[in-house]
């Protein structure tokens, strides 16, 4: 029996298993089309960008480890790598760009001078592939971020520089959304903070609020762009205080109708981002996710199918929040094949959502409301033994991408034919 026939046979058996629990697997596969993941462009080149060839990564504890062969060294190489990644993922995804990935024609264009023309090539590339784009200001790896403060800087010239940068990023984001016909999510994260105990926490936060108010003074149609703000617990060199804390940004998002970005690497390891989603969505319209895998905190390891990611997905699916949650990845690993890192991380995230959709939520909710906690626990345990992998392989098959471990050989061949020749 060939592999296609094996996958179809296994799926038919899994379909019967899940039907016994009241789950329609065909409907689940159709529902998976709603799960669009925004792939972070910076995994291809270790967050280097193409602004300056001699640029050094820095700010807010950002660090990429490893020097595995094959790093993308040009936008052409990056796009080729992204095409390869997309060819190995079922469903339709998006691409998330940082501002340092513009096409600057070999000239240095400072960040307060970037324009739509520097990203038109990306818009055209995305349009050809039917993809949406998301965007981020790059408030790090720049001489004007060396003090540790950007939008909250007490140096007015520096603060104004970064305000102008983020304003221009919003113009670019709105144009991306307009041309592509899907809202561009523009997420603002800054590295601002203090290594040791500051006296004037309030002063810095007042300046950040002032800067954000200036940045968001112009409204853009929501069908073109959505604004998000992202917190961080601490960074290397900013251990004592981050200006943009979770409390600050959540309050700002609620008061100003912005998305709150929840990065599951940006909180204390005992906190669960999955538990925050339903709380935040009581007060904001939408949430942006940055899915990663922290080890000993925000180390941005490749996402795997772990309990934290499964909880995030289950909270979204159980509550029908897919239309209110934007899903993005944020990790960078230069120690392994970068294409492989993308595909493992994206597939693990997709698999978490598939598992969540294969749950008989209504049945277990009824148990919970009747106080049948043993029965609820028993069903959760039974689900762990069900063959979701057979459904996943079939989902890959009907989307025309490699199922099971077959994608590994495809990436190895790409490495041999492309990456090792760079």
Residue 159 lies in a domain: yes
Residue 81 lies in a domain: yes
Nearest-angstrom CA–CA distance, 182 and 92 = 13
Structural domain containing residue 84: 36-357
Work out how many domains the chain is built from and give that number: 2
CATH number at residue 46: 3.20.20.150
Clarify whether residues 3 and 60 are in a common domain. no
Residue 373 lies in a domain: yes
Q: Per-residue pLDDT tens, the chain, 422 aa: give them.
A: 799 999 999 999 999 999 999 999 999 999 999 999 999 999 999 999 999 866 677 776 677 889 999 999 999 999 999 999 999 999 999 999 999 999 999 999 999 999 999 999 999 999 999 999 999 999 999 999 999 999 999 999 999 999 999 999 999 999 999 999 999 999 999 999 999 999 999 999 999 999 999 999 999 999 999 999 999 998 888 999 999 999 999 999 999 999 999 999 999 989 999 999 999 999 999 999 999 999 988 889 999 999 999 999 999 999 999 999 999 999 999 999 999 999 999 999 999 999 999 999 999 999 999 999 999 999 999 999 999 999 999 999 999 999 999 999 999 999 999 999 99
Clarify whether residues 324 and 375 are in a common domain. no
- The residue out of 307, 329, 357 marking a domain boundary is 357
Nearest-angstrom CA–CA distance, 231 and 188 = 9
Q: State the first-to-last Cα distance of the chain, in angstroms, to the nearest integer.
A: 40
- The predicted pLDDT at position 156 comes to 98
Q: What tokens appear for 295 in the block?
A: 């080890």
Residues 241/193, Cβ–Cβ less than 8 Å: yes
Q: Could you give the residue numbers annotated as active site?
A: 189, 230, 232, 263, 266, 290, 298, 300, 330
Clarify whether residues 13 and 161 are in a common domain. no
Clarify whether residues 200 and 98 are in a common domain. yes
- The residue out of 357, 373, 405 marking a domain boundary is 357
Cα torsion for 169, 174, 176, 182, to the nearest 10°?
140
Residue 270 lies in a domain: yes
Q: What tokens appear for 410 in the block?
A: 């495809």
Clarify whether residues 309 and 407 are in a common domain. no
Residue 28 lies in a domain: no
């Amino acid at each position: 029996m060939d592999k296609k026939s094996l996958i179809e046979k296994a799926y038919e058996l899994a379909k019967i298993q899940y039907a016994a629990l009241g789950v329609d697997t065909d409907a689940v596969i159709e529902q998976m089309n709603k799960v669009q993941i925004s792939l972070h462009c910076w995994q291809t080149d270790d967050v280097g960008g193409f602004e300056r060839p001699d640029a050094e990564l820095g700010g807010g504890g950002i660090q990429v480890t490893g020097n595995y062969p094959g790093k993308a060294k040009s936008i052409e190489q990056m796009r080729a790598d992204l095409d390869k990644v997309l060819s190995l993922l079922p469903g339709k995804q998006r691409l998330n760009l940082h501002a340092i990935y513009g096409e600057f024609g070999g000239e240095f264009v400072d960040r307060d001078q970037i324009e739509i023309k520097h990203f038109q090539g990306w818009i055209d590339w995305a349009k050809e592939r039917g993809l949406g784009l998301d965007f981020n200001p790059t408030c790090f790896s720049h001489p004007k971020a060396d003090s540790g403060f950007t939008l909250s800087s007490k140096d007015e010239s520096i603060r104004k520089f970064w305000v102008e940068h983020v304003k221009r990023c919003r113009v670019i984001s709105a144009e991306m959304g307009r041309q592509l016909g899907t809202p561009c999510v523009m997420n603002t994260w800054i590295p601002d903070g203090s290594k040791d105990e500051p006296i004037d926490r309030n002063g810095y936060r007042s300046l950040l609020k002032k800067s954000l108010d200036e940045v968001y003074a112009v409204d853009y149609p929501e069908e073109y762009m959505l604004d998000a703000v992202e917190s961080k617990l601490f960074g290397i060199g900013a251990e004592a205080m981050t200006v943009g804390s979770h409390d600050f940004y959540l309050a700002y998002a609620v008061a100003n109708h912005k998305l709150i970005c929840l990065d599951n690497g940006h909180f204390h390891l005992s906190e669960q981002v999955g538990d925050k989603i339903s709380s935040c969505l009581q007060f904001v319209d939408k949430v942006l996710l940055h899915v990663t895998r922290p080890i000993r905190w925000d180390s941005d390891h490749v996402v795997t199918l772990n309990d934290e990611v499964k909880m995030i997905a289950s909270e979204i699916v159980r509550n029908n929040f897919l239309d209110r949650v934007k899903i993005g990845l944020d990790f960078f690993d230069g120690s392994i094949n970068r294409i492989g890192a993308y595909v493992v991380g994206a597939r693990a995230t997709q698999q978490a959502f598939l598992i969540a959709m294969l749950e008989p939520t209504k049945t277990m909710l009824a148990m919970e409301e009747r106080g049948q906690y043993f029965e609820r626990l028993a069903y959760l345990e039974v689900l762990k033994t069900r063959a979701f992998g057979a459904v996943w392989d079939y989902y890959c098959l009907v989307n025309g991408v490699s199922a099971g471990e077959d994608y590994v050989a495809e990436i190895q061949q790409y490495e041999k034919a492309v990456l090792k020749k760079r």
